[in-house]
A and B are shown apart, each in its own frame.
Chain A
Amino acid sequence: MTDVAYYPGCSLHGTSREFDESLRAVAADLGIGLAEIRDWSCCGASSGHTTDHLLGVALPARNLALAEAQGFDTVLAPCAACYNRLSAARLAIATEDGLAERMPDLLDRPFSNSVVVHNAVELLRDAAATIEQKVAVATAPNRLKGVKLAAYYGCLLVRPVEVCGYDDPEQPTSMDDVIKACGADAVDWDMKVECCGGAFSVSRTASVLRLGRAIIENARSHGAEAIIVACPLCHSNLDLRQKAMARRGEEPMPILFVTQMVGLALGLAPVDLGMSRHFVDTAPFIARLVQQATERAAAEKLAEEEAAAKAAARAEKQKVGA
């Protein structure tokens, strides 16, 4: 299988290192080759296009041009913000008058806008059958079986529709499908595509706390034991900011990257998935998963043995009767 051009973006090299670590671990386990784009630069995120439309196109376009020059036809951008900006630039250049012609001069590089952009959820959804199969044949009991998880998409994975378009903007199901492939239960809840406050994490924390609290409370009230995300902004707004949200008597809600969840289902070690980098301690959650899985495996084994013993007794009786 040929390698996919990997655009980690700034967050996966910084505050969301665990997203990078878990993605690399899971891709290796699933046999997906990732080749980091050489000398990639920041996509500009919301600061770029909020300040200047052309800058908001040019910054991501440089990376698409690099991927092209390095011989790739597909870019994987796991960060939802990067995915969104790269895809939006690609669409703007394809549809806005005169933009494509300006690019080579603006970037000082040849550019034919030929690379397609995928996010991590798409990659894992497309690998769902492989994940399911690997989980089924694993010798260790699946730690995620029957665990209730809330798939949280936020904004940048699904909107705008013309830019993303890989899933429904109001009722997306791709991440739910990945959750199911891991053997877990995807809970039905209300705030799948609500905004977490995105880039206001630093500059307007009070808004982020208000939005994040509503998301966590809704997931909890629908029975979720953890929230699954695919965006570094969503992760830090829900994980780091949960300290300030904590209310008396409420259990902390673990926030996992979708790649970390798949890694747990595939039986990878939590430390290799960067689970210890979170602010909401994931150790009690994982310990509970391991305990549940062990108990379930023991109960299944016991039931199997009992069934076998009964069958043997019945066979014996029949022999005697004959």
Chain B
Amino acid sequence: MSVPTSTLAADVLEATGINAATCYQCGKCSAGCPMASESDLRPHNVMRLVMQDRRKDALADQSIWLCLTCETCTARCPNGCDPARVIDVVREMSIETGAADMPRTIAAFHRAFLQQIRTNGRLHEMGMVIEYKLRSGDLIKDANNVPALVARGKLSLLPDRIEGIAELKRIFEKCGVTP
């Protein structure tokens, strides 16, 4: 992990154009946050940590991974601070610096999802679920739903691969993302 030369607030400002110091901690974002009851850090707490340059506290906390990106916080912010975008960029920094403490199931889900897109161009749900289970170790949950999903024609057994799959591989490469 490299030592940062600027403050977290400056990095967030550069990446998003959002000045965290404009947040006056009214807490309206957190009042509407659907995950507030399950998170140690709520949206206004993340804004505060960014403001105070508490990089490690912000980047290494699990709470940023519990954000559903539902954007309720941003829609309700009376001062236009966009906490959802700030949390988004803090998550990216947390991956880049290796500080991320993403819950294993959520990390496994995102990687399995993106792996499907890189391989097939489209999400193959069956393949995604199998890969998710292998990555997360969560083998039992939802297995009993599979027959019902297949019976309803909702899970196809084979992937639907696009012709331009090489384009997708190149996009992942150029963005520097390896799921």
Contacts and interface: CB of A to CB of B under 8 A. Distances in A.
Interface in B92-124: 92, 95, 103, 105-106, 108-110, 113-114, 116-117, 121-124
Given A41-B122, A161-B75, A51 B172 contact: no
Give the contact-size bracket for chain A: 35 or more
Interface string B146-177: 00110011111000101110011011101111
A49 B113 CA distance: 12
Contacts of B108: 203
A13 B122 contact: yes
A211 B72 CA distance: 14
Interface stretch (A130-138, A194-202, A263-271, A302-310): A194-202
- B71, B84, B153: which has the most chain A beta carbons within 10 Å? B71
- B66, B75, B129: which has the most chain A beta carbons within 10 Å? B75
B110 A160 contact: no
A63 to B, nearest CB: 11
B129 A50 contact: no
Nearest to B65: A50
B72 A207 contact: no
Interface residues of B, number: 60
A234 B109 CA distance: 18
26 contacts: A14-B154, A14-B155, A15-B125, A39-B164, A41-B162, A41-B168, A49-B88, A50-B110, A51-B92, A51-B114, A52-B175, A54-B175, A55-B175, A58-B171, A105-B174, A159-B70, A194-B72, A195-B34, A197-B34, A198-B68, A198-B70, A203-B106, A204-B66, A204-B106, A207-B66, A277-B154
Given A11-B123, A39-B162, A277-B154, 11 more contacts: A14-B125, A44-B114, A47-B113, A48-B114, A50-B91, A52-B92, A55-B175, A62-B168, A159-B70, A159-B72, A202-B142
Interface of A: 10-11, 13-17, 39-42, 44-55, 58-59, 62, 105-109, 154-155, 158-161, 169-170, 193-195, 197-200, 202-205, 207, 211, 240, 276-279
